[in-house]
Structure 1
Amino acid sequence: MTAQQPVYEARGISKRYGNVIALDDVDFSVAAGEVVGLVGDNGAGKSTLVKALSGAHRPNSGELYLDGERVEWHSPQQALEAGIETLYQDSSLAPDLSVSANMFLGREQLVPGFWGKLGFLANKRMDEVASQELQNVGIAVPSSTRSISKLSGGQRQAVAIGRAVSWANKVIILDEPTNHLGARQSAEVLHVVKAARERGLAVIFISHTLPHVLEVTDRIVVLRLGKVSVEAPTSEFTPDTLVKAITGLSGAA
């Protein structure tokens, strides 16, 4: 737990699938302007915790608190409307649409008046806002009207994160955001994560790429066999001690 008041907090979260215990009395929190790394081996419970936090799954027991008030999600849309954006490994971008169309996917703006009632989109306005929002988080995209299919892998992922950052007003959950990206592309994505922190968002960063976790996070939570095995500031970990914490051989230095 951080000394700062958490923006989002899970208390005693447990989740079972039949006889399998995926999460066992897990406490987790993230504060505004903080990047918390969530790591663990396959089957440690990371995905289950993310689904509970994002509203995709309801836990069997435990409580969630947003800004100190207890919340219950019955769908991911409820969490989304409360300001919690989740970006899964599949960024869900539409490759044939433009950058701005993807930025406003599901949130399209209509022109005012009669034509808006007929469903005409405010494309120019969305292009301008998309360009500004991407600039605000340091994403260098040649044009907001360019098709997503013409961007590099790193640019695509950066746009997906930029979309989440621009719409989130409390928490952003990033599940393996640098997966399958090269060094330069990963650097672009990590820059956006840092920009999200600078904007005061609470960021949950899930990754198997431990150097990225060590670079961008303020605190690391290690899950092992459905429980929190280690939690400490990132500065207390080395690459070696983090691997040992994940495998169960040891904790933070």
Structure 2
Amino acid sequence: MSYPDGVSDRAEPATLAGSDLVKERRRAMAVGVLLALVVAVAILWELVVWHGWLDAFFWSKPSAILFQLLDWWRSGTPHGPLLAQAGVTCGEAALGLAIGSAAGGALGGACVRRAVSRDVLRMALTALTLPLRIALGAAFALGLGLGLGSKVAFASALVALLAAGDALAGRQPLATLRLRFSLALVGAVVGETFMARHGLGVLIDESVHHFNASGVYAALVVLGVVALAGDGLLALVERRYGPRTCEQAPRD
């Protein structure tokens, strides 16, 4: 790359380093703001229930949710250790992400070369997106049973829709990697609520059927932690292997 007179070839790396520093500071600030909001909502929620403005039986309260999490951590859930349930869900989501990305990318890549096949695939994606997200989990549960296959198949189908659309639009897989993971996680959890023996979705489903509001929210807290951890890991992958761009820091 050529540079104007008087401009060192070190300017670009320095600019990128400065951009990365700005991003890290902004990310740290976002984490701080999020934690402050969580604490504020928890305090308000606890006070509202304590004053009797919300029924703790149906809405639970942060202290009861914390006790439920501690009980699952120490004594385990009805289906085994809490970390094992989270691991099952993560494994299903990871498989769904990999299989769905490969299948959807291959399908989109094969159809993008011809105008007719490209239009057919685009119409099919439009027609199938909503039904797949709503009903396919139940269909896979009935057809594939309690095992790993039904959850992975549902997660893969959700990811494949996005991957095929990315291929048609000419987007790089890394551009939507974190969104694909979110869809895979949704597919895994929804599939578990239909029919499964293990996973966070099973904890949510059984807590609902036993009117255990604390269990529902506790499982959602664990799911949120899993989602944030996965998103953070994929963000590192994007920064490592994605295209490096100079981003100007926004002005206040």
Q: Output the TM-score relative to the length of structure 2.
A: 0.24
Q: Between Structure 1 and Structure 2, which shows a larger proportion of helix residues?
A: 2
Q: Between Structure 1 and Structure 2, which shows a larger proportion of strand residues?
A: 1
Q: Output the TM-score relative to the length of structure 1.
A: 0.24
Structure number, greater radius of gyration: 2
